[in-house]
């Protein structure tokens, strides 16, 4: 059983729900039922949730692949932490307002580095085990 993936996917599931609740809260606050109504705060909440949903599934698939191919637990844990921090910083930046550009960049870097590292690592595991 891929235990690190189980833990990360559970935490990410809770984070996804929290981000969805931020969208709902802003829709109610600004009385917008569809789209963003041109309201920056709502646009940010929508994109924080959307961006999360765009990157997390592939990250979890790659993480599960590494675990299922018996990668060292410490390596898998490192990848999981990298992905989690990337998504957390990115969401914080989006919901924090206009002055949070540096955490947004940092979050995307961590996420993209994690995806590249996991992809290359999994290919290496595959080649090594063939």
The model's pLDDT over 20-50, given as tens digits with 9 standing for 90+, comes to: 999 999 999 999 999 999 999 999 999 999 9
**Could you tell me the pLDDT band of residue 94, with boundaries at 50, 70 and 90?**
confident
Question: Which residue ranges make up each domain of the chain?
Answer: 3-129
DSSP symbols for 73-108: HHHHHHHHHHHHHHHHHHHHHHHH-TT-HHHHHHHH
Q: Is pLDDT above 90 for 98? A: no
Asked if 17 contacts 36 with a C-beta cutoff of 8 angstroms, the reply is: no
Asked if 50 contacts 68 with a C-beta cutoff of 8 angstroms, the reply is: no
Give me the chain's average pLDDT, please. 94
CATH class of 3-129: mainly alpha
Would the CA dihedral through 103, 105, 50, 95 be positive or negative?
positive
The predicted structure's pLDDT at residue 15: 97
DSSP symbols for 6-18: HHHHHHHHHHHHH
């Amino acid at each position: 059983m891929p235990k690190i993936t189980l833990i990360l996917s559970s935490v990410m599931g809770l984070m996804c729900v929290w981000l969805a609740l931020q969208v709902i809260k802003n829709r109610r606050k600004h009385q917008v039922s569809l789209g963003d109504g041109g309201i920056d705060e709502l646009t940010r909440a929508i994109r924080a949730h959307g961006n999360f949903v765009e990157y997390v599934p592939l990250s979890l698939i790659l993480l599960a692949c590494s675990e299922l191919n018996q990668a060292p637990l410490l390596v898998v844990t490192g990848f999981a932490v990298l992905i989690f921090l990337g998504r957390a910083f990115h969401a914080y930046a989006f919901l924090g307002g206009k002055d949070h550009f540096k955490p947004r960049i940092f979050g995307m870097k961590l996420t993209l580095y994690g995806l590249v590292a996991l992809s290359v690592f999994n290919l290496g595991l595959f080649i090594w085990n063939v």
